[in-house]
Amino acid sequence: MKKNTRMKIIKRSYSISTIFVLISLQVLISQISANSINECPEKCGSIKIPFPFGIGNQCSLSPFYEVSCSNHTPYLVTTDHQILGITNGELRINSTSYIAKDCINQNSTITHISLPENGPLSVSDSSNVFIAIGCDTVAVITDDKSFTSGCVSLCSTPRSVVNGSCSGIGCCESTVPKGKRYLGLGTSNIFGYKNVSDFYNCSYAFVAEKGSFRFVENELRNFSETAKDMAMRLDWSIGNYNCASTSGSFICGKNSFCVDSTMGTGYLCNCSDGFSGNPYLNGTKGCQDIDECIELENNPCVGGARCHNKVPGYQCICPFGSAGDGRKNGSGCKKLYLVIEALLGTGLGLGVVLLCGLWFYFALKKRTLVKLKEQYFRQNGGLLLKQQVSNREGTTECARIFSSEELKAATQDYDKSRILGSGGYGTVYKGILEDGSVVAIKKSKVMDQSQIDQFINEVVILTQINHRNVVKLLGCCLETEVPTLVYEFICNGTLHHHIHENVDGTQMSWSNRLRIAVETAEALSYLHSAASMPIFHRDVKSSNILLDETYTAKVADFGISRLVPLDQTQIPTLVQGTLGYLDPEYFQTSQLTEKSDVYSFGVVLVELLTGQKPVSFERSQEDSNLAMYFLSSLKTKDLNEFLDKNVVKEGNLEELRRVTELARKCLLLKGDKRPTMKEVAQELVNIAAFCKQSNQLGEDDNEQQQWAMDLFDQASNDSFNAALSITYDLER
């Protein structure tokens, strides 16, 4: 009761305002004269009392650090704790009086560890541990605010207790919360001492410094006898601000530096490297230079070297004719000729090792590259292609197998300036071979390894296609991760560019458009029915129709084309193609047929007729797809409303209607209703012949033709769209 009453008085006397005043006076107090500090006792008994602590109020930084010395035993004035030792940042105190106890037939005792609320002290969480002793014991530690923890200890017989272990059998332990100035400790028996063993009398709970308490079975009987020297550690710091604060006045002395306290508030001072002493003082008791040459137990320099003290640190000076740092823990001292020899030998050795390493690296890299090329060659079916080529040599023109070095040289190592175009399946580069011939080199992005045999067959077959309107495949390179294809070079761009992206303002004439349509249809018809094995192009679109210097059409890009066995008319496959050109029936069924190319060609015909892109968001949402827009326009509009103005102006009305009708048939939703590519090509040839015949008529014939066309318009113009709509619905 006396101690609790005294603590209450202390708490009241050191109010918050008083603490702030004391802290503001720290700088003034720290400037105690050297004579005053020298006159202060440095020890109480055998315990050193370093500043900022001091014996008497004139020797400490503030009342919180004041120590009283009674019978050669130091006590902290503000808390009456017996001091067992002081280090920088920690205070070791006797904690025998802070043990909670609960015994049979006795009242339990709850203990409180209470420190000044605004003082510089707190119970150390890193150096202490909460311990409970007893059988069927529960112990609790709390700060009466936000923290409550504890542990449970169970045991039945002395044999169950393990000496030296505090893991829950006879003894348990828990952590201590950080930065607490008040802790309440309590303990009790779980079963109310109904199951009391003969070797067990009481339960205990206490805070002790780590490593100071070793539990043994006898503690369960006579713990109070062994608890005489129980110790606990307190954290201490200076002030209530950290080192980063610009408003604080730090008391760190010369040759020292500030460090933040582990308490979370306040700071501490440490001597700089090479200095020792009290970092909170100046003068002889402050941080002084360490003379390593004298104070170290052993001379830090090697034999023969002279030790020279520096502020801070030291230097070892090697004798004449030697070189090195002279330190025992360094390079020591070596004769100069030995040093030179060592340096030359080391440099020469490193040079030889480096040259050998470089030679070995490049040789290994070259060998690895050769092996990788061989692996890719076999992986991509190079052996099969060689066999196919050898079987066909002397009969027809064969695919040429290019090396990766040839194609790198042809494209200047695939320089960006050589790019002709790129898509989802690869990038096309312009290449110039050693003989000066210009080629187009397609570097693929992906390759289905399960279709190597089919790819090789396709390469062999495509090299034998001899059609003036199909881009010639000259060969391939199989020494890369994915095969690289080499085609003949077509110089005048794509049909898509000339229809949609012609920046010079010139428009492609209707006669050229019709001729390109005829040439493209004949090429596709050849692939479907005249090649040694039918080929479905699978990606017919205006950007895959190239134009040479005479605007002759060349069908290109067989990257996703499929070879078709003669006994099959459709192939189940993963749907691939380009949005706007993709056959709806193929998209729904995944069954690829020759009519899929017919549908895509129909979209190209509509592009030639209307001059519009296959997908455009400039049209309404329902008309964004060109094919749907074209079919709906046929039912509701006249031709001159949705066809390209130049086409309507240049083309003959009859041939425009025939081409329009052919495009409509190609775009029928059901594939079996569409014409074959051969029928499409024949119809376009007939239309082109009609166009040519009409252009050759004389002026008299023109008048007769005009009369006939006017008569035809009068008879059929009103009913043409309606009849076309009925036919569309029936065929659909």
Which is nearest to 670 in space by CA: 583, 607, 606?
583
Residue 205 forms beta bridges with which residues? 100, 132
pLDDT band of 262, cuts 50, 70, 90: confident
- Could you tell me whether strands 419-422 and 47-48 are parallel, antiparallel, or unpaired per DSSP bridges? unpaired
Instruction: Estimate to the nearest angstrom the gap between the alpha carbon of 201 and the chain centroid.
Output: 62
Q: Is the pLDDT of residue 284 over 70?
A: yes
**pLDDT at residue number 335:** 76
- Crossing angle of helices 510-525 and 653-666, in 10° steps, is 40
**pLDDT at residue number 565:** 56
Lowest mean pLDDT among 29-38, 276-285, 304-313: 29-38
Using an 8 Å Cβ cutoff, are 169 and 160 in contact? Answer: yes
- Could you tell me whether strands 128-133 and 171-174 are parallel, antiparallel, or unpaired per DSSP bridges? antiparallel
Residue 99 forms beta bridges with which residues? 206
Residue ranges of the annotated binding site for ATP are 443
Residue 549 burial (C-beta neighbours within 10 Å; 0-12, 13-18, 19+): exposed
The yes-or-no answer on residue 102 being catalytic is no
Distances (CA, A) of 695 to 200, 656, 690, 705, 713: 124, 14, 9, 11, 19
Peptide linkage before 300 cis (omega within 30 of 0): no
Within 537-676, residue ranges assigned H as helices are 584-589, 594-610, 626-636, 639-642, 645-650, 653-666
Half-sphere exposure of 727 (CA within 13 A, CB side): 15
Q: Which amino acid is at 77?
A: V
Average pLDDT, the chain: 79
DSSP 450-475: GGHHHHHHHHHHHHT---TTBPPEEE
- The Cα 429–Cα 477 span in angstroms is 14
- The Cα 132–Cα 563 span in angstroms is 84
Which is nearest to 45 in space by CA: 98, 82, 96, 90?
82
Average pLDDT of span 514-527: 93
Average pLDDT of span 706-718: 38
Distances (CA, A) of 238 to 28, 83, 87, 92, 234: 14, 19, 14, 17, 14
Q: Say which of 539, 557, 583, 597 is annotated catalytic.
A: 539
- The Cα 545–Cα 498 span in angstroms is 11
* Range from 181-195, 350-364, 583-597 that averages highest in pLDDT: 583-597
End-to-end CA distance of the chain: 105
pLDDT band of 66, cuts 50, 70, 90: very high
Average pLDDT of span 189-197: 67
Using an 8 Å Cβ cutoff, are 300 and 307 in contact? Answer: yes
Q: Is the pLDDT of residue 724 over 50?
A: no
Using an 8 Å Cβ cutoff, are 444 and 560 in contact? Answer: no
pLDDT tens digits, 399-416: 677 888 899 999 999 999
- The Cα 291–Cα 304 span in angstroms is 19
**pLDDT at residue number 522:** 95
| Cβ-proximal residues to 535 (8 Å cutoff; 6+ apart), any chain | 458, 461, 462, 527, 528, 558, 561, 562, 563, 564
**pLDDT at residue number 6:** 37
pLDDT band of 24, cuts 50, 70, 90: very low
**pLDDT at residue number 567:** 55
**pLDDT at residue number 313:** 81
- The Cα 114–Cα 443 span in angstroms is 80
**pLDDT at residue number 309:** 84
Backbone dihedral angles phi then psi of residue 95, each to the nearest 5 degrees: -120, 25
pLDDT band of 107, cuts 50, 70, 90: confident
Distances (CA, A) of 222 to 150, 216, 226, 560, 621: 23, 11, 7, 90, 92
**pLDDT at residue number 377:** 63
DSSP 313-367: SEEEEPPTTEES--BTTTT--EEHHHHHHHHHHHHHHHHHHHHHHHHHHHHHHHH
- The Cα 519–Cα 528 span in angstroms is 14
Average pLDDT of span 542-564: 81
- The Cα 723–Cα 717 span in angstroms is 10
- The Cα 191–Cα 189 span in angstroms is 6
pLDDT band of 367, cuts 50, 70, 90: confident
Which is nearest to 259 in space by CA: 66, 89, 453?
89
Lowest mean pLDDT among 207-211, 277-281, 317-321, 544-548: 317-321
Lowest mean pLDDT among 199-203, 437-441, 489-493: 199-203
What does the block give as tokens for 280? 């909170």
**pLDDT at residue number 718:** 37
Q: Is the pLDDT of residue 76 over 90?
A: yes
Using an 8 Å Cβ cutoff, are 69 and 44 in contact? Answer: yes
* Range from 6-20, 61-75, 678-692 that averages highest in pLDDT: 61-75
- Could you tell me whether strands 400-401 and 473-477 are parallel, antiparallel, or unpaired per DSSP bridges? parallel
**pLDDT at residue number 7:** 40
Average pLDDT of span 327-345: 76
**pLDDT at residue number 90:** 94
Which is nearest to 544 in space by CA: 525, 516, 569, 511?
516
Residue 677: CB atoms within 10 A of its CB come to: 26
Average pLDDT of span 599-625: 91
Backbone dihedral angles phi then psi of residue 444, each to the nearest 5 degrees: -75, 155
Dihedral through CA 249, CA 255, CA 257, CA 263, nearest 10? Answer: -90
**pLDDT at residue number 713:** 42
Peptide linkage before 614 cis (omega within 30 of 0): no
Lowest mean pLDDT among 48-52, 242-246, 485-489, 546-550: 242-246
- The domains located in the chain, with CATH, are 90-236 (no CATH), 381-388+397-465+472-481 (3.30.200.20), 490-694 (1.10.510.10)
Q: Is the pLDDT of residue 388 over 60?
A: no
What does the block give as tokens for 466? 């001899």
Average pLDDT of span 131-158: 88
